[in-house]
Chain A
Amino acid sequence: MQGNITLGFYVPGQSFIHRLDPRTKILACLAITMAVLFCNHPAGFAALSLVTLLALGLARVTPQLLLGILRPFGIFLVLALLLQLLFTPGRPLMMLGPLQLTREGVHFGFQLLWRLVLLIISGSLLTLTTSPLMITAAMEDLLKPFRRVGVPVFELAMMMSIALRFVPTLLEEAQQIIRAQQSRGAAFTRGGLVQRVQGLVTLLVPLFASAFRRADELATAMEIRCYRAGANRTRMHQLRFHCRDYAVLAGTGVLFLIVLVMRWWG
């Protein structure tokens, strides 16, 4: 309950993005992800950034929230940028000791950084505005055709929704355990390596113990309710496409095509 915004966190709301059909959001997210990966043209990046910005606005994501989403990836992003900056061969810009900063390095480094940021934002927008339950329902629906070829769609969807469902729970529990151990004088953030590793043990053992207990309880609860994957249950809320969904799908589809065209013919 610490309210930390983390990957996979769902914030209930009534914004335009919230009200989109979850299938629309998954497909749009997929299209933007692919577009971001294929894109190699500044104009494409500009367009994708604009679309992402528009989506952030429509989802009513505040700048603080956005920072909260990106912060956990901070080290990873900086590392990715530095590696590209310093280890890309090419025309040198300046020397930094034994390393050299190259034109290509700067280009690829910032391109990679921007790609990652866009990917994180678009993925987070999906989970931020769609409850895990809806994501599963949508995945199940979208993957239905693959059942013919023997893909266990229902089982996969259920596994995914359980995983998504328990990410915040486990994080919260980890926080709680850390505090309980700190109250007994455990060191997590100070002392030597040995002390810190010991600190980690005091966290991981109880966390695993409780995860297994939870899994056990969940399995029992599902059995009691006679859960069977793919027993063709009906849903309380049927998924339905609206005008806004077609508009968003068309928009992202066109954007995706433009990026593709720019890559191969631009």
Chain B
Amino acid sequence: MKMDGGRAMILVEHLTHIYAPGTPLALTSLEDVSLHIEEGEFVVLAGATGSGKSTLVQHFNGLLLPTAGRVLVGGRDTRDKKVRRDLWRTVGLLFQNPEQQLFEESVFAEVAFACRNLGLDEKTVEVRVCRALEMVGLEPDRYRALSPFALSRGQQRLVALAGLLAYQPPVLVLDEPTSGLDPAAREQIWQLLKKLQQAGHTVVVITHHMEDAARFAGRVVVLHRGKIYRQGTPRQVFSDPGGLRAVGLDVPMPCELMYCLQQKGLPVKSGIITLDEAELELKNLAMG
């Protein structure tokens, strides 16, 4: 966890969000949530459906405003109209099922959309779009002229992701980027996000894949019914499988295995979250 030395990129203070306040449909989605995300961190947001994850991340780029409390991005309050308008340049948000947002005639134009909104010149746009397409594993020469609607759903997802990467916002927020993708594409996206984090981006990912979260996240934040249920390093958060299951989450398989062995009274270490660690531990156990 990079807590020291970094500066708060996103600071959430006592955030409460209520949808449609004052109507019969009023719904408290977030309640008194406080959270800070340092520059260069890799944070995974987890939680059951309806726990408020998507609502929370939409506060990061000013799409939603707090009903109470406040959100600061790079030290600036998102309620400030001038800040809000340009927030998308700092915080790039990729929605759940981003293939729904495609509209351009060609893959190239689609990926270039945000870059052009930034006001970059065509030469830079060209370079960035090609690099972004390569990053997500779509060969630029083969795909650039195709219609995005002719692609498969998984490829459309990658195009949308490339559109986000191409304009290079310092903070990348992705809402379930890997849902519905095959394992290879999933792995590729996680590796890519890790690389981007190492290159200096702040990365926030919503996911239900706890194995991936354990491998890549620096910090895991678990939401439950609009409140932060638990946060910390993957090791800390996954040390209590029972509690996590109670709020509708899984724990990574190795972690689960070790926990079960422990329950049976076998002398294994706790805090094991990857397969390699689990293998080593099992070997030790077998050797006696």
Interface residues of A (CB under 8 A from B): 1-5, 11, 13, 62, 64-65, 68, 173, 176-177, 179-187, 190, 201-202, 205-206, 209-210
How distant is the Cα of A177 from the Cα of B63 in the complex, in angstroms? Answer: 12
Contact B23 A64 (CB under 8 A): yes
Closest 6 pairs between A and B when the two form their complex, measured CB to CB: A3-B20, A185-B117, A205-B103, A3-B25, A180-B101, A184-B114
In the bound complex, residues from chain B placing their C-beta under 8 Å from that of A173 are: 100
In the bound complex, residues from chain B placing their C-beta under 8 Å from that of A182 are: 63, 88
With A182-B63, A185-B114 known as contacts, the answer to whether A210 contacts B100 (CB < 8 A) is yes
Contact B20 A184 (CB under 8 A): no
Chain B window 76-115, contacts with chain A (Cβ cutoff 8 Å), 1 for yes, 0 for no: 0000000001001100111100101111000000000110
Chain A nearest CB: distance from B68 CB in Å?
17
Would you call B58 an interface residue if the criterion is a C-beta within 8 Å of the partner chain's C-beta atoms?
yes
In the bound complex, residues from chain B placing their C-beta under 8 Å from that of A209 are: 102-103, 149
Chain A nearest CB: distance from B185 CB in Å?
21
How distant is the Cα of A68 from the Cα of B93 in the complex, in angstroms? Answer: 30
Contact A184 B100 (CB under 8 A): no
Interface residues contributed by chain B, number (CB under 8 Å): 31
Give the residue name and chain of the B residue nearest to A180 (CB).
B101
Q: Which of A1, A11, A176, A210 contacts B24 (CB 8 A)?
A: A11
In the bound complex, residues from chain A placing their C-beta under 8 Å from that of B149 are: 209
Contact A184 B101 (CB under 8 A): yes
Give the residue name and chain of the A residue nearest to B19 (CB).
A3
How distant is the Cα of A142 from the Cα of B24 in the complex, in angstroms? Answer: 31
How distant is the Cα of A209 from the Cα of B164 in the complex, in angstroms? Answer: 21
With A182-B88, A183-B92, A209-B149 known as contacts, the answer to whether A4 contacts B20 (CB < 8 A) is yes
Contact B95 A206 (CB under 8 A): no
23 chain-A/chain-B pairs, Cβ below 8 angstroms: A1-B27, A2-B19, A3-B19, A3-B25, A5-B23, A62-B22, A173-B100, A176-B95, A179-B58, A179-B63, A180-B100, A181-B101, A182-B63, A182-B88, A184-B113, A184-B163, A184-B164, A185-B88, A185-B117, A202-B101, A205-B103, A209-B102, A209-B149
Would you call B261 an interface residue if the criterion is a C-beta within 8 Å of the partner chain's C-beta atoms?
no
Contact B100 A2 (CB under 8 A): no
How distant is the Cα of A202 from the Cα of B93 in the complex, in angstroms? Answer: 17
How distant is the Cα of A170 from the Cα of B63 in the complex, in angstroms? Answer: 19
How distant is the Cα of A255 from the Cα of B118 in the complex, in angstroms? Answer: 62
Would you call B184 an interface residue if the criterion is a C-beta within 8 Å of the partner chain's C-beta atoms?
no
How distant is the Cα of A210 from the Cα of B101 in the complex, in angstroms? Answer: 10
